[in-house]
Structure 1
């Protein structure tokens, strides 16, 4: 990675230099990687942990440390989300977690969503077939909550263009009409501070901005579980898992762990270290760094005569009409995405001003 970092001046990292040095010790990309909205890069500490997890399996050692990793990852995520660990369940994907929420709704319930939100947030509700689905523009979501709305489901940051939902307004509207909120933080957690405790349900995959391996999505539920049924419960969902391996589970976990599925042990072994890095750097520090790079890109686009889709204060920048240039950019060693015809660049803690300038130079021809 060439160039200087634009790290913040305050937060858990005392200086910009300490932020920079820690990031440089963890990441060594061989290209200009501006595609965290698709998948984040793995820190060195996470890669080392994955190798160790594989060695444990290959050598026949006890798996206890890998099961311990599940609980460490849960606790670290809970701190980042601002909730007790007892409210956090671990599952395989956003779609699977959305399915639990969808299954809890009565037939005929209205689910309000944002138009063209990410499929994993929406589709589990649609496939029920007996729910009233209503989609409105993201900017009109709060004002569109009405007395017969049972649930509002939305991404905190939109995958396609980075627009950020007005969550405070949405929560206020939902409370006023007796509706519940379900927020997907997958494109936000890691650079945008989370307030999971302010919503009824939240979900977050960990392989994007949280820099973990694929295979785990954390679901945050209310203390009273919000009427969810543990439809996927196996032995790990028991209050005493190792005493619940045979026959029906007689006592479900008293915490959100009752919604766990059998854990992807390798993923948790890695993600606990990725989450620790985010916590060590501080989300506010990462946010300041990421947004400075995104703004540098927006400014450079203006000088080239391009206008990105409006997404103020977002680390994701999408430029209409340039999506077809993604293969060209990839050949040049710059990784971005083509989303609905727009070129989507996403800026995270391992990116530098030099990365932004290189993208602008190639776009300039």
Structure 2
């Protein structure tokens, strides 16, 4: 594959910023252009013809993430899906949260009045979580599978063990910085929910996201709504209770069609191949950054690591990265870089050369 042809920005910048926004491919841009031209030409007739794409995408998401089809919902973004999930839970739930978590997680929980407890994210995170569960007896644990600032990835084996040890504890994961980086089996993950936007590692553009639910959580949400009569309007016939919550109104065929096209693009490369390539590159990057004192040992040595790294840099160095046309993001107190399958060792070397003070 000619990556520069699919992603022209790669010939202009060293793009280490997928954690901020994934790239749109030229192939996807062509599809989007054709979609809108057909809409211009066909109006409502086009909409009727394109409506099956929503169910095609739902099946594609279910297959890609190994989830049960009836438990897959399509939403406009992570926040809408997560907020809808929270609104379906009894207010008696008590949440465990991580300090410095993504604001759209902890703020939405706290603003709804849920009782909550927080633990520190450090090299002892797993012990911190277990101690907090024993002390506070939470009924739900909401967290980013990959932390957006540090890039810390929660150990998938630990998540499974949590569910086995505390089967009634709801495990609700934000997968926005995770989905599209590894071959993921939702049904065997231990998670009760994975909510993800598609604009980062899934390269699907903005305005699309998904919610995956375990049977356990699906049934909890359904019990809260089962006594509300369903509409009997003919064009809404057959729509179930949770669909009215997670998928109210119309779903845009451009945004969700883009998601479907992007999933097919990723599948054509192979998610296992993407995982292999990024794992090799990120392992090398973590080693090099750790050697320079820019990445702590506990992040550099994670058994299951993410594709995100954060460095403590002064403003002069941040300016040098910008001058070298290296795209990255300030997050927290650090500068965040991230590597996807379209990145190379040359990209990493350019980053290291700037950090080492070499002329570019």
Give the TM-score of the pair, scaled to structure 2. Answer: 0.83
Q: Which residue does the alignment assign to 2:155?
A: 166
Partner of 1:120: 104
Unaligned runs of 5+ in 1: 1-20, 233-237, 245-249
CA distance in 1, matches of 2:68, 2:243: 10
Q: 1:323–1:343: 8 Å Cα contact kept in structure 2? A: no
Q: How far has the Cα of 1:143 moved from its partner?
A: 4.4
Q: Which residue of 2 aligns with 1:357?
A: 349
Counterparts of 1:323 and 1:157, CA distance in 2:
26
Alignment of 1:1-365 (within 5 A): 21=1, 23=3, 26-29=6-9, 30-61=12-43, 62-129=46-113, 131-138=114-121, 139=125, 140-146=128-134, 148-177=137-166, 178-197=168-187, 198-223=190-215, 225-228=218-221, 243-244=235-236, 251-253=238-240, 259-261=246-248, 262-302=250-290, 305-309=292-296, 310-311=298-299, 312=302, 313-322=305-314, 325-365=317-357
Q: CA deviation at 1:212?
A: 0.6
How many residues of Structure 1 are paired with residues of Structure 2 in the alignment? 333
Cα RMSD of the aligned pairs, angstroms, is 2.8
More helix by share: 2
Per-residue CA deviations over 1:172-225 (Å, capped at 9, x if unaligned) read 334433211111111111112323223211111100000011011100123462
CA contact (8 A) 2:222 2:241 kept: no
Q: Residues 359, 48 of structure 1: CA spacing in aligned structure 2 closer, same or farther, 3 A cutoff?
A: same
* Cα distance change, pair 168–162 in 1 and its aligned pair in 2 (3 A): same
- Give the secondary structure class of the aligned counterpart of 2:153: coil
Q: What is the alpha-carbon distance in structure 2 between the residues aligned to residue 176 and residue 300 of structure 1?
A: 37
Aligned partner of residue 149 in structure 1, secondary structure = coil
CA–CA separation in structure 2 for the residues paired with 1:66 and 1:187: 30
User: C-alpha separation between the residues in 1 aligned to 2:132 and 2:259?
Assistant: 37
Contact 2:98/2:119 (8 A) holds in 1 = yes
Closer, same or farther: CA 125–175 of 1 in aligned 2, 3 Å: farther
Q: Are the aligned partners of 1:191 and 1:287 in contact in 2 as well (CA < 8 Å)?
A: yes
Q: Aligned partners of 1:308, 1:288: CA distance in 2, in Å?
A: 22
Indicate the SS of the match to 1:52.
helix
CA distance in 2, matches of 1:76, 1:23: 24
SS of residue matched to 1:301 = helix
Contact kept in structure 1, 2:95 and 2:115, CA below 8 Å: yes
Distance 1:334 1:241 in 2: 54
Between stretches 253-262 and 198-207, larger displacement belongs to: 253-262
Measure, in 1, the Cα distance between the counterparts of 2:143 and 2:200. Answer: 17
Within 2, Cα distance between the matches of 1:57 and 1:203?
30
Structure 2, unaligned runs of 5 or more:
none
Q: Is the 8 A contact 2:60 2:260 kept in 1?
A: yes
1:192–1:283 contact (8 Å) kept in structure 2: yes
Q: In the alignment, what sits opposite 1:14?
A: none
- Report the Cα offset of residue 355 of structure 1: 1.0
Cα distance, 1:267 vs. partner? Answer: 1.0
